Structure 1
Amino acid sequence: MSEWWTYGLRDLLLFSPRTYYRLFELYNLEWWPLQILALALGVAVFVLLLRGGERAGRAIAVILVACWLWVAWGFHWQRYASINLAASYFAWAFAVQALLLLWSGVVRGRLTPAAVGRLQQYAGLGLFLFALLIFPLMGPLLGRSLTQAEVFGMAPDPTALATLGALLIAGSRPAWALFPIPVAWCLISGATLWAMDAPDFAVVPLAAILVVALAVGGAVMHARAGRSGK
């Protein structure tokens, strides 16, 4: 028997790319036309990000809580668990993220869009729009069926990316507790797609790394500005 360290990530993958993308197709067909509502909620979040204010921040948090809970149950628990033994743990992680968003965003109001650096603001809004409008089209552009599209609020990747985009605009003192789970999911998803030889495997991880770099950079600049102003 081969030693365990001789196995790579591709050897541990329990499903084929065809099975993986077929999962999204069956999921979308089962819940159609819920995707329209999900996209409408995404548009509402984008408008609220532009509007700003404490009430907008709490409304954004409420919508994101609903999206993370839905993906936890509707996708991970009900669908992904049928082909991936780790999906039940992913479901619990997404549920925990929903609780963190509830506490930080709804109760404490830490998701209020605030005055941040122009680069940080444009990057956050751009990432949110990418997750909402472009990400569902990536599959068809790569030759997959439109019925396999991954939609914000229903699929994990665009939901995580959109959340990171919103967090990037939530002030110069981000709620750091809200970052680990979306970032971790982006890295896991990227590793899964890499194991399947998907050409877009690097998109989600690189976007998450960029968000963290911009958030840390913005926090450092804010701290320096605060010290120099004393």
Structure 2
Amino acid sequence: MADWSSYRLEDFLLFAPRAYWRLFELHNAALWPVQPFILLLGLGVAALVLRGAPRAGRLGFALLAAGWVAVGLLFFWQRYASINWAAPYLMPVFLAEAILLLLAGRGAIVPAAARWRFREWAGAGLVFFALALHPLLPLVFGRPLAQAEMIGLAPDPSAIATLGLLCLIPRGLLSGLALAVPVFWCLVSAATLHAMGEGQALVLLAAILVGLVAWALPPRGAPRGGKADAGPIRT
């Protein structure tokens, strides 16, 4: 039996990096021109959240939940499964996350930006990065923009945006469970990218760090003594 210590992470890759990035190019071409509409819709919801619109938070969670369903069905089932046999087994995880987001966002009230502290601003920063900056990463890492990854179409930005959005509502059991899935996926994706020799893996690790630290901080209005979960919490 071969010594397992002799294996490296890249030895477990089921596909070539070129095939992986080509998937996003094909995915974007098949769904064009939905990408500009996603960007405009996301920026519109973000503006409502910043203004403290009463139902903006619920709308954001509902749209992000729809994005997880779309990623599970359109990307994992129709695209990623063609080069990775494990993709169909991950699809139910994405569908379960959509349900968790709907439950966590039900009745959740996001405070207006004027009342935000570091926790909320860090979360908003993750959402903005996932929406507007993550699609530009191909240019940073020497790939064509046609391989851009967008919220609701690709798993990585959807997971990063979820980490951020969950920092805008109080902590609770449902929000904690909803947080576990994007953390899990970011770890899986970071390992995959690292195995391919892609520096983009660091982006996902940074998102996990920022998201977990921000989520662990007390939300706006919570006691300073670290008892953010005391009393009834809307999730």
TM-score by length of 2: 0.87
> When you count helix as a share of all residues, which structure comes out higher?
1
Partner of 1:119: 118
Tell me if the contact between 2:190 and 2:202 (Cα under 8 Å) persists in the aligned partners: yes
Q: Which AA in structure 1 matches 2:169?
A: A
Contact 2:218 2:224 in 1 (8 A): no
Task: Please tell me the residue identity of whatever aligns with 1:113.
Answer: V
Q: 1-side partners of 2:217 and 2:117: how far apart?
A: 13
Q: Which runs of 5+ in 2 are unaligned?
A: 228-235
Partners in 2 of 1:180 and 1:172 — Cα distance?
Answer: 13
* Unpaired runs of at least 5, structure 1: none
Task: Name the amino acid aligned to 1:191.
Answer: A
In structure 2, C-alpha distance between the alignment counterparts of 1:76 and 1:226, rounded to whole Å? 39
Match of 1:133 in 2: 132
Count of matched residue pairs: 224
Deviation digits for residues 176-227 of structure 1 (CA, Å, limit 9, x no counterpart): 12100011111111111000000121111221122111211326x9354487
Asked if the contact 1:172/1:222 (under 8 Å) is kept, the reply is no
Alignment partner, residue 142 of structure 2: 143
Cα pair distance change 1:52/1:18, threshold 3 Å:
same
1:133 is paired with a residue whose SS is helix
Letter of the structure 2 residue corresponding to residue 59 of structure 1? L
**Cα deviation code 1:50-93 (max 9, x no counterpart):** 13354222211211111111011111111011111221122111
1:172 CA drift (Å): 5.6
Identify which range, 71-80 or 199-208, moves more after superposition. Answer: 199-208
CA distance in 2, matches of 1:146, 1:90: 27
SS in 2 for 1:218: coil
1:78 aligns with 78
After TM superposition, the structure 1 stretch with the greater mean CA deviation from structure 2, 88-97 or 164-173, is 164-173
Amino acid at match of 2:49: L
Report if the CA contact (8 A) 1:139-1:148 is conserved: yes
Q: Would the alpha carbon gap of residues 122 and 224 (structure 1) be closer, same or farther in structure 2, given more than 3 Å must change?
A: closer
The equivalent residue for 1:186 is: 186
Please report how far the alpha carbon of residue 96 of structure 1 lies from its aligned counterpart in structure 2 after TM superposition.
0.3
Tell me the amino acid that sits aligned with residue 147 of structure 1: A
Amino acid at match of 2:70: W
| Contact 1:65–1:101 (CA under 8 A) maintained in structure 2 | yes
Q: Mapping of 1:30-49 within 5 angstroms?
A: 30-49=30-49
For residues 97-155 of structure 1, what are the alpha-carbon distances to aligned partners after superposition, in whole Å with 9 as ceiling and x for unaligned? 001112221xx323x21377521122111111111111101112211011101111111
Aligned to 1:171: 170
Distance 1:48 1:171 in 2: 19
Are 1:109 and 2:107 matched, yes or no?
yes
